[in-house]
Amino acid sequence: MNHKKYELASNFLRNAKNMNYSEQEIKGAIRLLYEEVSSEEKVILSLYKHLKARKGADGNEH
């Protein structure tokens, strides 16, 4: 994990603890963030594959 990501995660956890969120609430928030990021990555990957396939099809027409 690079330094910037570690710093962000550390700040997130510190702030959550300072706001008296429970461990379970923090884990739930992290799970939601993970699901959101995973979903966006899947959409981007699908779009990339679609565009790549379309470009290949367009190249075959010439």
Task: Render pLDDT for 15-36 as a digit per residue (tens, 0 to 9).
Answer: 999 999 999 999 999 998 888 8
Domain ranges of the chain: 3-61
The residue type at 51: L
Residue 18 pLDDT: 95
DSSP 50: H
Query: The pTM is what?
Result: 0.58
The H-assigned helical ranges of 1-62 are: 3-18, 23-61
Query: Where residue 59 falls among pLDDT bands split at 50, 70, 90?
Result: low
Contact 16, 26 (CB under 8 A): yes
